[in-house]
């Protein structure tokens, strides 16, 4: 961190506390910036060495289950009896500017799903999520999220990077920048995207913006070659590969000896060494066949429609187990973007993800990782209380359009008060009204759980302190903290 | 609006005419004024109105500053004054903060109606045209404005409203409820709810309707309000003291310092650098050897390694000015513009697509700007002219009256593409609302501010700059300069290809002009005419399939992506807190006050007789490039210095303000800036000066003493070792492999993406072109670029990073194209020195590294080759090809070596 107080005693102390890997970590392991652009400021961290947080953290790692597309809050977590009452009444004129597709706007629509209270806490969950319903005492639900744009791209950018446009560092990149990594052989920020396709905004979802690229998310694919360039794209005997690498190492050693006092050359040699280790470590982390059949069954691996998402959830657990700081799981394209056929399509999205997510929560608990891992679920916005109709106006195929003024997210694990329901929306679920949580509030709360102060985590860019939360006034979501 | 609010309150006060003010309710003059005088006056008295806020009088408080009124009578919770003192945000210095009872007094005073001795401030003014015009602009002008007058109605000013449209006058003065405008709006017919998104307009709010109604009711008054512009009286917001900062001061002649070791001084630049080093007890490092020098200079000026013959020629040139001649030769190379043009494209935020949306709308004509930049650098176009063309090329010469598109006119127009580079999703209705447009404008201002002016202007969009004397007003004056081209109420959108996105209501037209040079135009017209003829023939034959096939061959009309002034700009209002729905005062065009004497009016006139253009950008560009402008030359030479010496004299390349870094060598910076201007703003003259200095010829070797006394090399006690940037590496790999096709200019070469995420340039049969000629779509950047720190253009990049990481290693080791190029490199070497393995190894080094191998390198190489060949032999039936394969792998290792990637 640009601001970190680099007191070795403090660092060693905190490093020891947070897993003891600090001392073992190699300096300049994966990256080193050559240029320093800000006089008067210490050069910003450009490596994955573990760095102490600002205060004692609750969480050491994050698994972000990013439900891109905009899951419908009033069909999953936020029951609205008023929708039943006003079902069929016209409402569009009142909210015209909040509707992305006015031509297909219909009347107020009740939820096709049934709600019930679950767990000791009595949290309301719809029957679309039967597996999660059994874990509600572990999660804290926020019903009062709101954002600033009702279009996917800007809303996803905001959720991921704090700004409604491309080019800013993403959440995972900020966390990697702030805390470095506890793992020598794997990237700090790993992205598990869906083999079926990229989410909206594609690879921009894990970019590092003005932070060094070492903090960028690395895509691990759950099938095929796990990381781009991890294996040679040409065939040659393994021994030839080994000889070539040995030659590079010897030539580089020569080169370095003739140029003492150039730390970048050390970093360069280390980067080739890491590249070799990463080839092994990544393959190992991704190998779910090493898990017991019982575990794989829990996640729904090997059966449809849970196999793909279950596999990624299990890999996420294997990654945080190995010290990866931030894992983000994506779902292909827009399965939550239920403009049409909400009753069937949203149900399908739940069927793909519900069991794996519940299994992940249980698995983390069983392995003692729940106290150090923060699990976050949510999309970029919510949906409207009115129906969205296709050209034939068939209500059985109705969906819901985007809604920026209310949506739900939940958090679980380290530092979270399980069983909490925080905030509330209005009668129709159109707008968050009580204990409202903005996206910057949510970001700051995530950072807080990791021991980072949102106003102290900054990067000097052209003389200015750039932060994830920007210049927004921010309030932590204290109601969900343990 | 303030006036509106007070008016609402007025009846409350009027209802209590005789009631006595409670003894406990504070009064402004006796209770509040003294507090403000003691704690706030230093920054907010009538002389120094920071944030345009004057807290000395009741009127000043109600008028407020850049963030709006300081007090909302009766509502402390909504009053900025209370909020700031209550939270302890103001005054900024801790020791001056208000104590609890003072804060309480202010709260009570506001809660009690914020009264003075005379009672509440009588501000019962009725609204004037500037209260209603912004409402009409943002809610109505998409369909009743500049480029579209549905039902013949224009609602942009009073005269037009009175004139009305097909249904008659839109307003009956004095009678809001009889006015069509109000009737339609009240009936929720206008703006029509179902068409709001189509027009990228948000619905009108109740308060706005009331303001319109009150304006009409009170006589549709037009107040004589002048736009806020610089006048001949001193600026109340920016003082001469504010201007007294090193970078805001005008350049003054500098004395060249004396040094102890004049033997190392080759030109004036050395005198400054050496002087600073000597003060620290240091001197220059030894001069680098000639192999190092030619490799360094070649990469610096052309982005490519020297050819073996060039190395040989330089080594055998024994004349004292051999290096000078080398620099001249490199500067004359067409490769120079490709290297230095790239830096400028970074600064401009060049991209071949609009970004922001999933479709990543292509910019099919952007490449012309890339070519313009490369040609300009190669022609050594003077920087002042270069800037004028890019900022105001459309106002430099009349392009509308002249039928012929001269090369000059073409260049002028293509150059204005500079301010069309920001990411932009306003082509889609749902991402084309007013705030979205302002975001695009803000990005363009940021590019201009950081890249050219060295100012973080963007900070002043929402409030007065926190560090520099840039009032918010100055930001909006600058927007007024650009309003003829960037008008958020008459917005030109990026052109949508068929099939992408719905049609917009707002049809101002696109951003392209069909004005390419005559030759290209003629060639296109001829080919289209020939095609039409063929199509007609086919039609006559009734060959429908042929017709269809031929239609598919039609080429898009060659056009220029440009920015141009369309005249008749909308008025510019300061947007409080940057919010376009919260307009403040009317401002006119002007330049940042801190860079002037603050009392010189900004004068813009139409650029030629009868021009519709305002001439504002031309006036701005001319002001920007006056030799007296303190920043333009300093910022430019600093950037040049950075690219040659690894870091700028000012390390924050885009921030010369108070939050930026101070110059390490202020005198040298000023000397270079003056020299730049004296040499006619010639970049090549500056390259020559910097590169022929003794400083540049130093070795990059570090010793303990230099590390101790000059740890970050800001004194330049040695040359920095640098990592090749993405383009230099890619281009060099192609060059050494003999696969570089040096064809310049023209449409960008396409890229292809693989399912696993790898994006590569599509090579042609003839080879691959330099990376600058490969498409750069924002969402599909070539992987090689990304891995080697090509920046995301957000909106631009002044300084790339140069990281070293494992992903790069994996790419160079495992990527198929790199390996293929290594094979081509090996074949080339074997072709040039058949059968002679010693000579082959020498050639590998000469071609890739510009030097012969050292003996240890030879030994390592020979041993590795032998082992590799043996390995291959044991795997291949055909012993002959084992040698070739081993050699290819050897070349692969060299291309992976640090010696190749780093430049000494």
B695 half-sphere exposure, CB direction, 13 A CA radius: 29
The verdict on a CB contact (< 8 Å) between A230 and B814 is yes
What are the φ and ψ backbone dihedral angles of B898, each rounded to 5 degrees?
-60, -35
Cβ of residue A155 closer than 8 Å to a chain B Cβ: no
Choose the closest CB to A225 out of B450, B756, B779. B756
C-alpha distance from B191 to closest chain A C-alpha (Å): 11
Handedness of CA B227, B233, B237, B242 (dihedral sign): positive
Q: Pick from A285, A314, A329: which residue ends a domain?
A: A285
Place of tokens 């059966």: A303
Q: Are residues B450 and B598 in the same domain?
A: yes
A1 falls within a domain: no
Q: Which residues of A touch B868 (CB under 8 A)?
A: 240, 243-244
Query: Does the pLDDT at position A5 exceed 60?
Result: no
Cβ of residue A232 closer than 8 Å to a chain B Cβ: yes
* Distance, CA of A476 to CA of A478 (rounded, Å): 5
Predicted pLDDT at B393: 97
Q: What is the DSSP string of B588-646?
A: -----GGGS-S-S------SSTT--S--HHHHHHHHHTSTT-TTHHHHHHHHHHHHHHS
B354 falls within a domain: no
Cβ of residue A456 closer than 8 Å to a chain B Cβ: no
A111 falls within a domain: yes
Evaluate whether B814 touches A233 at the Cβ level (below 8 Å).
yes
Pairing of strands B560-561, A437-438: unpaired
Cβ of residue A368 closer than 8 Å to a chain B Cβ: no
Render pLDDT for A247-273 as a digit per residue (tens, 0 to 9).
Answer: 999 999 999 999 988 888 888 888 888
Q: Are residues B193 and B137 in the same domain?
A: yes
Query: Does the pLDDT at position A109 exceed 90?
Result: yes
Tell me the average pLDDT across A200-227. Answer: 81
Predicted pLDDT at B508: 58
Predicted pLDDT at B7: 43
Q: Pick from B652, B681, B709: which residue ends a domain?
A: B709
Which among A259, A263, A260 has a CA at the least distance from the CA of A271?
Answer: A263
Q: Which residues of A touch B80 (CB under 8 A)?
A: none
Q: Are residues B390 and B492 in the same domain?
A: yes
Q: Are residues A272 and A134 in the same domain?
A: no
What are the φ and ψ backbone dihedral angles of B133, each rounded to 5 degrees?
-60, -45
The alpha carbon torsion through B789, B793, B798, B799 (nearest 10 deg) reads: -10
Which among B348, B422, B418, B420 has a CA at the least distance from the CA of B390?
Answer: B418
Choose the closest CB to A166 out of B195, B702, B792. B792
The verdict on a CB contact (< 8 Å) between B702 and A244 is no
Which among B595, B688, B677 has a CA at the least distance from the CA of B634?
Answer: B677
Predicted pLDDT at A223: 64
Q: Are residues A373 and A402 in the same domain?
A: yes
B801 falls within a domain: no
Of chain B, the percentage scoring pLDDT greater than 70 comes to 95
Cβ of residue A186 closer than 8 Å to a chain B Cβ: no
Q: Which residues of A touch B714 (CB under 8 A)?
A: 39
Predicted pLDDT at A33: 32
Mean pLDDT rounded to a whole number for chain B: 90
Q: Are residues A247 and A213 in the same domain?
A: no
B603 falls within a domain: yes
What tokens does B496 get? 């949508």
* Distance, CA of A193 to CA of A200 (rounded, Å): 11
Q: Are residues B456 and B574 in the same domain?
A: yes
Q: Which residues of A touch B893 (CB under 8 A)?
A: 244, 247-248, 251
Predicted pLDDT at B120: 65
* Distance, CA of A233 to CA of A245 (rounded, Å): 16
Of the ranges A13-17, A241-245, A283-287, B289-293, which one carries the lowest mean pLDDT score?
A: A13-17
* Distance, CA of A61 to CA of A59 (rounded, Å): 6
* Distance, CA of B60 to CA of A114 (rounded, Å): 59
Of chain B, the percentage scoring pLDDT greater than 90 comes to 66
Q: Which residues of A touch B456 (CB under 8 A)?
A: 462-464
Q: Are residues A268 and A380 in the same domain?
A: no
Q: Are residues B207 and B300 in the same domain?
A: no
What are the φ and ψ backbone dihedral angles of A116, each rounded to 5 degrees?
-150, 165
Predicted pLDDT at B532: 92
The verdict on a CB contact (< 8 Å) between B889 and A35 is no
Looking up residue A331, the CATH number of its domain turns out to be 3.40.720
Render pLDDT for B46-95 as a digit per residue (tens, 0 to 9).
Answer: 777 777 888 888 888 887 887 778 888 888 887 888 888 887 778 887 78
Which among B889, B901, B752 has a CA at the least distance from the CA of B821?
Answer: B889
A222 half-sphere exposure, CB direction, 13 A CA radius: 25
Render pLDDT for B483-512 as a digit per residue (tens, 0 to 9).
Answer: 999 999 999 988 876 555 545 555 556 888
Preferred mutation among A33, A36, A39 to probe B, highest tally of B CBs within 10 A: A39
Q: Which residues of B touch A269 (CB under 8 A)?
A: 898
The verdict on a CB contact (< 8 Å) between A247 and B430 is no
Q: Are residues B434 and B578 in the same domain?
A: yes
pLDDT band with cut points at 50, 70 and 90 for residue A44: low
CB atoms within 10 A of CB B375: 18
* Distance, CA of B678 to CA of B108 (rounded, Å): 63
* Distance, CA of B274 to CA of B268 (rounded, Å): 10
Predicted pLDDT at B509: 67
The verdict on a CB contact (< 8 Å) between A251 and B662 is no
Cβ of residue A201 closer than 8 Å to a chain B Cβ: yes
pLDDT band with cut points at 50, 70 and 90 for residue B408: very high
Query: Does the pLDDT at position A71 exceed 60?
Result: yes
The alpha carbon torsion through B425, B428, B434, B440 (nearest 10 deg) reads: 20
Q: Are residues B40 and B103 in the same domain?
A: yes
Q: What is the largest CA-CA distance in chain B?
A: 114
Residue of A nearest to B358 (CA): A201
Predicted pLDDT at B497: 64
Preferred mutation among A47, A162, A167, A170 to probe B, highest tally of B CBs within 10 A: A167
Tell me the average pLDDT across B95-121. Answer: 83
Of the ranges B160-164, B385-389, B396-400, which one carries the lowest mean pLDDT score?
A: B396-400
Cβ of residue A184 closer than 8 Å to a chain B Cβ: no
Q: Are residues B591 and B460 in the same domain?
A: yes
The verdict on a CB contact (< 8 Å) between B799 and A37 is yes
Instruction: Report how many domains make up chain A.
Output: 2
C-alpha distance from B225 to closest chain A C-alpha (Å): 33
Query: Does the pLDDT at position B374 exceed 50?
Result: yes
Q: Are residues A443 and A298 in the same domain?
A: yes
B118 falls within a domain: no
Q: Are residues B438 and B586 in the same domain?
A: yes
pLDDT band with cut points at 50, 70 and 90 for residue B862: very high
Of the ranges A152-161, A459-468, B426-435, B721-730, which one carries the lowest mean pLDDT score?
A: A459-468
Tell me the average pLDDT across A429-451. Answer: 97
Choose the closest CB to B456 out of A232, A264, A464. A464
Predicted pLDDT at B19: 44
Q: Are residues A175 and A78 in the same domain?
A: yes
B351 falls within a domain: no
* Distance, CA of B716 to CA of A420 (rounded, Å): 60
* Distance, CA of B646 to CA of B465 (rounded, Å): 30
Cβ of residue A404 closer than 8 Å to a chain B Cβ: no
Q: Which of residues 413-432 of A touch B (CB under 8 A)?
A: none
- For B257, B363, B370, the CA distances from B496, given in Å and listed in that order, are 59, 10, 22
Q: Are residues B386 and B523 in the same domain?
A: no
pLDDT band with cut points at 50, 70 and 90 for residue B118: confident
Pairing of strands A123-126, A373-378: unpaired
Cβ of residue A403 closer than 8 Å to a chain B Cβ: no
Q: Are residues B495 and B438 in the same domain?
A: yes
Instruction: Report how many domains make up chain B.
Output: 6
Q: Are residues A423 and A279 in the same domain?
A: no
Evaluate whether A190 touches A324 at the Cβ level (below 8 Å).
yes
Render pLDDT for B735-764 as a digit per residue (tens, 0 to 9).
Answer: 999 999 999 999 999 999 887 778 899 877
Choose the closest CB to B655 out of A219, A264, A462. A462
Please tell me what DSSP assigns to residue B575. Answer: E
The verdict on a CB contact (< 8 Å) between A464 and B459 is yes
3-state helix, strand, coil in chain B (%, to 5): 50, 5, 45
B780 falls within a domain: no
Q: Pick from A240, A270, A285: which residue ends a domain?
A: A285
Of chain A, the percentage scoring pLDDT greater than 90 comes to 64
Of the ranges A182-191, A240-249, A426-435, which one carries the lowest mean pLDDT score?
A: A182-191
Choose the closest CB to B757 out of A32, A165, A203. A203
The verdict on a CB contact (< 8 Å) between A463 and B456 is yes
Predicted pLDDT at A40: 39
Of the ranges A121-130, A297-306, A368-377, B424-433, which one carries the lowest mean pLDDT score?
A: B424-433
Containing structural domain, residue B677: 262-335+644-709
Place of tokens 């100055």: B474
Query: Does the pLDDT at position A9 exceed 50?
Result: no
Cβ of residue A153 closer than 8 Å to a chain B Cβ: yes
Q: Are residues A354 and A419 in the same domain?
A: yes
What tokens does B213 get? 């109604």
Q: Which residues of B touch A160 (CB under 8 A)?
A: none
Containing structural domain, residue A274: 231-285
C-alpha distance from A129 to closest chain B C-alpha (Å): 30
Which among B593, B346, B568 has a CA at the least distance from the CA of B464?
Answer: B593
The verdict on a CB contact (< 8 Å) between B899 and A255 is yes
The verdict on a CB contact (< 8 Å) between A97 and B203 is yes
A40 falls within a domain: yes
pLDDT band with cut points at 50, 70 and 90 for residue B122: low
* Distance, CA of A282 to CA of B144 (rounded, Å): 60
B807 falls within a domain: no
Q: Are residues A463 and A372 in the same domain?
A: yes
Residue of B nearest to A231 (CA): B814
Q: Which of residues 110-149 of A touch B (CB under 8 A)?
A: 149
SS3 A107: strand
Whole-complex ipTM: 0.86
C-alpha distance from B651 to closest chain A C-alpha (Å): 5
B364 falls within a domain: no
Q: Which residues of A touch B84 (CB under 8 A)?
A: none
Choose the closest CB to A243 out of B803, B809, B864. B864
Q: Are residues A245 and A356 in the same domain?
A: no
Q: Are residues A126 and A252 in the same domain?
A: no
Choose the closest CB to B898 out of A40, A218, A268. A268
Q: Left (φ > 0), alpha (ψ -120 to 50) or beta: where does A300 sit?
A: left
Tell me the average pLDDT across B631-658. Answer: 96
C-alpha distance from A103 to closest chain B C-alpha (Å): 7
Q: Are residues B546 and B654 in the same domain?
A: no
pLDDT band with cut points at 50, 70 and 90 for residue B24: low
Residue of B nearest to A94 (CA): B193
A3 falls within a domain: no
Q: Are residues A281 and A316 in the same domain?
A: no
């Amino acid at each position: 961190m640009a601001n970190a107080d680099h007191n070795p005693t403090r660092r060693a102390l905190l490093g020891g506390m947070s897993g003891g890997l600090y001392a073992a970590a190699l300096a300049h392991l994966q990256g080193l910036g050559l240029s320093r652009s800000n006089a008067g400021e210490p050069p910003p961290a450009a490596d994955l060495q573990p760095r102490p947080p600002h205060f004692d953290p609750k969480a050491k790692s994050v698994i972000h289950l990013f439900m891109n597309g905009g899951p419908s809050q009033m069909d999953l977590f936020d029951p609205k009896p008023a929708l039943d009452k006003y079902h069929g009444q016209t409402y569009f004129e009142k909210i015209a500017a909040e509707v992305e597709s006015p031509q297909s706007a219909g009347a107020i629509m009740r939820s096709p799903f049934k709600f019930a209270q679950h767990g000791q806490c009595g949290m309301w969950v719809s029957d679309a999520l039967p597996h999660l319903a059994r874990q509600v005492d572990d999660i804290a639900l926020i019903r009062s999220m709101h954002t600033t744009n009702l279009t996917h791209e800007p809303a996803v950018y905001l959720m991921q990077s704090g700004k409604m446009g491309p080019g800013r560092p993403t959440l995972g990149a900020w966390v990697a920048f702030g805390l470095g990594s506890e793992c020598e052989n794997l990237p700090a920020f790993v992205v598990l995207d869906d083999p079926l396709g990229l989410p909206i905004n594609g690879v921009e979802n894990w970019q590092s913006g003005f932070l060094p690229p070492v903090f960028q998310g690395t895509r691990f694919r759950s099938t095929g070659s796990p990381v781009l360039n991890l294996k040679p794209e040409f065939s040659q005997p393994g021994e030839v590969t080994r000889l070539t690498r040995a030659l590079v190492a010897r030539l580089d050693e020569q080169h370095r000896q003739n140029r003492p006092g150039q730390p970048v050359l050390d970093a360069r040699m280390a980067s080739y060494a890491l590249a070799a280790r990463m080839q092994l470590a990544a393959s190992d982390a991704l190998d779910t066949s090493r898990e017991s059949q019982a575990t794989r069954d829990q996640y729904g691996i090997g059966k449809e429609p849970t196999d793909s998402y279950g596999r990624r959830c299990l890999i996420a657990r294997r990654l945080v187990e190995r010290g990866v700081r931030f894992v983000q799981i994506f779902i292909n394209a827009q399965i939550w973007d239920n403009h049409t056929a909400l009753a069937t399509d949203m149900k399908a999205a739940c069927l793909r993800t519900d069991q794996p997510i519940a299994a992940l929560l249980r698995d983390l608990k069983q392995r003692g990782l729940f106290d150090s891992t923060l699990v976050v679920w949510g999309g970029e916005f919510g949906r409207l209380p009115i129906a969205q109709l296709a050209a034939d106006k068939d209500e059985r195929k109705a969906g819901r359009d985007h809604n920026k003024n209310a949506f739900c997210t939940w958090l679980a694990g380290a530092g979270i008060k399980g069983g909490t329901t925080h905030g509330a929306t209005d009668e129709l679920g159109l707008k968050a009204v009580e204990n409202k949580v903005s996206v910057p509030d949510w970001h700051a709360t995530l950072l807080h759980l990791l021991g980072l102060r949102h106003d102290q985590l900054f990067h000097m860019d052209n003389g200015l302190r750039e932060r994830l939360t920007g210049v927004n006034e921010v309030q932590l979501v204290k109601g969900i903290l343990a | 609006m303030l006036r509106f609010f007070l008016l609402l309150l007025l009846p409350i006060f009027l209802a209590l005419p005789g009631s006595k003010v409670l003894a406990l309710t504070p009064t402004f003059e006796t209770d509040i004024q003294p507090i403000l005088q003691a704690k706030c006056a230093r920054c907010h008295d009538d002389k120094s109105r920071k944030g345009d806020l004057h807290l000395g009088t009741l009127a000043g408080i109600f008028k407020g500053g850049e963030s709006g009124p300081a007090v909302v009578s009766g509502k402390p919770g909504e009053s900025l004054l209370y909020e700031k003192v209550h939270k302890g945000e103001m005054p900024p210095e801790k020791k001056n903060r208000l104590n609890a009872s003072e804060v309480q007094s202010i709260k009570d005073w506001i809660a009690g109606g914020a009264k003075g001795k005379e009672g509440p401030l009588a501000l019962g003014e009725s609204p004037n045209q500037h209260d209603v015009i912004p409402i009409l602009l943002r809610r109505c002008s998409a369909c009743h404005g500049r480029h579209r007058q549905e039902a013949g109605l224009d609602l942009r000013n009073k005269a037009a409203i009175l004139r009305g449209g097909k249904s008659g006058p839109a307003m009956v003065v004095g009678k809001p409820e009889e006015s069509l405008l109000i009737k339609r709006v009240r009936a929720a017919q206008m703006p029509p709810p179902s068409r709001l998104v189509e027009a990228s307009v948000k619905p009108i709010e109740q308060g706005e309707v009331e303001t319109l109604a009150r304006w009409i009711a009170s006589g549709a008054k037009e107040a004589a309000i002048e736009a806020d512009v610089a006048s001949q009286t001193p600026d109340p917001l920016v003082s001469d003291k504010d201007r007294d900062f090193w970078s805001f001061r005008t350049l003054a002649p500098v004395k060249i310092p004396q040094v102890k070791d004049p033997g190392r001084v080759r030109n004036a630049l050395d005198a400054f650098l050496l002087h600073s080093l000597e003060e620290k007890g240091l001197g220059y490092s030894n001069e680098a050897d000639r192999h190092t020098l030619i490799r360094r200079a070649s990469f610096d000026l052309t982005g490519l390694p020297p050819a073996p013959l060039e190395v040989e020629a330089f080594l055998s040139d024994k004349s004292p000015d051999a290096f000078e001649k080398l620099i001249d030769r490199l500067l004359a190379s067409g490769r120079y513009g490709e290297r230095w043009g790239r830096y400028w494209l970074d600064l401009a935020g060049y991209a071949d697509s609009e970004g922001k949306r999933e479709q990543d709308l292509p910019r099919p004509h952007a490449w012309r700007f890339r070519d313009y930049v490369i040609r300009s650098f190669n022609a050594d176009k003077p920087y002042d002219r270069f800037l004028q063309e890019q900022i105001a090329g459309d106002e430099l010469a009349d392009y509308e009256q002249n039928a012929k598109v001269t090369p000059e006119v073409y260049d002028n127009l293509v150059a204005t593409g500079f301010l069309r580079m920001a990411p932009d999703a306003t082509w889609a209705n749902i991402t084309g609302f007013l705030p979205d447009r302002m975001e695009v404008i803000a990005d363009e201002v940021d590019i201009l501010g950081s890249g050219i002016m060295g100012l973080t202007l963007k900070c002043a969009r929402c409030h007065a700059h926190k560090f520099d004397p840039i009032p918010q007003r100055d930001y909006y004056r600058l927007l007024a300069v650009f309003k003829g081209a960037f008008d958020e109420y008459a917005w030109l959108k990026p052109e949508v290809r068929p099939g992408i996105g719905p049609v917009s209501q707002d049809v101002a037209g696109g951003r392209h002009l069909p004005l390419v040079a005559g030759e290209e135009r003629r060639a296109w017209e001829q080919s289209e005419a020939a095609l039409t003829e063929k199509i007609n023939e086919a039609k006559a034959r009734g060959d429908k399939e042929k017709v269809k096939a031929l239609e598919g061959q039609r080429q898009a009309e060659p056009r220029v992506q440009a920015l141009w002034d369309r005249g008749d700009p909308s008025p510019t209002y300061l947007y409080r807190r940057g919010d376009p729905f919260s307009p403040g005062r009317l401002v006119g065009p002007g330049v940042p006050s801190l860079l002037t004497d603050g009392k010189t009016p900004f004068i813009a006139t139409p650029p030629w007789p009868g021009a519709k253009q305002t001439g504002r950008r031309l006036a701005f560009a001319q002001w920007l490039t006056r030799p007296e402008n303190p920043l333009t030359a300093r910022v430019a030479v600093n950037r040049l210095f950075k690219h040659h010496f690894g870091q700028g004299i000012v390390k924050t390349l885009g921030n010369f303000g108070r939050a930026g870094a101070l110059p390490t060598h202020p005198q040298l910076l000023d000397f270079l800036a003056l020299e730049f201007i004296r040499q006619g703003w010639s970049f090549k003259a500056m390259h020559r000066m910097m590169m022929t200095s003794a400083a540049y010829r130093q070795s990059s070797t570090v010793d303990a003493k230099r590390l101790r006394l000059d740890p970050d090399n800001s004194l330049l006690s040695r040359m920095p070792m640098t990592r090749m940037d993405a383009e230099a590496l890619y281009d060099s790999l192609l060059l050494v492999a003999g696969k570089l096709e040096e064809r310049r200019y023209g449409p960008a070469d396409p890229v292809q993406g693989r399912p696993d995420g790898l994006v590569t340039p599509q090579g042609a049969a003839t080879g691959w072109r330099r990376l600058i000629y490969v498409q750069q779509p924002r969402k599909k950047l070539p992987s090689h670029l990304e891995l080697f720190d090509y920046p995301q253009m957000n909106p631009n990049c002044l300084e790339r990073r140069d990281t070293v990481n494992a992903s790069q290693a994996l790419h160079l080791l495992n990527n198929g194209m790199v390996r293929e190029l290594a094979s081509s490199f090996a074949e080339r070497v074997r072709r040039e020195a058949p059968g002679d393995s010693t000579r082959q190894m020498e050639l590998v080094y000469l071609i890739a590294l510009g030097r012969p191998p050292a003996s240890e390198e030879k030994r390592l190489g020979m041993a590795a080759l032998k082992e590799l060949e043996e390995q291959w032999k044991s795997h291949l039936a055909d012993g002959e090809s084992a040698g070739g394969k081993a050699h290819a792998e050897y070349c692969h290792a060299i291309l992976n070596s640090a010696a190749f990637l780093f430049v000494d």
